[in-house]
Amino acid sequence: MATMIAAFTVVLTSCSKEKGCTDEKATNYDPGAEENDGSCESTGEVVFWQHSEDNFNITTVTINGVSKEITKDDDDSAPDHCGEIGNATFSLPIGIYSYTATEKGTSKEWSYNNLVIERNECTKRRLLK
């Protein structure tokens, strides 16, 4: 009788598929998962930058209580990619966010309520004086 129960258990176990995130672009992709369980999480990025013609001081950008500084001005155009040194880059779950930015030594402030973070995308946001 014990042998039949063990054989029955093995058959049941081998028939069930491992569940998890099957989306290779998700941050929590599970290569061993055979069936998607709806747990996939995706992120996107936003980079804030300033142009040298605007003569900025260091600017602090804040999203969801996290602050980062823009410490350089770009001479030509938007940065080539998110994460470029001297710009403020945030990696966030997909969704809609608000941000604030403050230029040090001045009263200049920005706030914006509809910053859209899209899946696996780099959004580039120039701060204008």
pLDDT value for 85: 87
Spatial CA neighbour of 41 closest among 31, 52, 29: 29
pLDDT of 60: 95
Residues 6+ apart with CB under 8 A from 70: 48, 49, 50, 56, 58, 59, 60, 61, 86, 87, 88, 127
Q: What is the pLDDT of residue 8?
A: 47
Instruction: Enter the tokens of residue 104.
Output: 């040090």
Across 52-81, b (16+ Cβ under 10 Å) vs e yields eeeebeebebbbeeeebebebbbeeeebee
Task: Retrieve residue 89's tokens.
Answer: 């880059």
Report the pLDDT value the prediction gives residue 11, as an integer from 0 to 100: 47
* pLDDT value of position 128: 83
Q: What is the DSSP letter of 78?
A: S
pLDDT, residue 74, reads 74
Model pLDDT, residue 118: 93
- Domains identified in the chain and CATH numbers: 2-36 (no CATH), 43-126 (2.60.40.1120)
User: Along the 129 residues of the chain, how does pLDDT read in single tens digits?
Assistant: 555 554 445 444 556 889 999 988 888 999 999 999 988 888 999 999 888 777 788 999 999 999 999 988 777 677 878 888 889 999 999 999 999 999 999 888 999 999 999 998 999 998 887
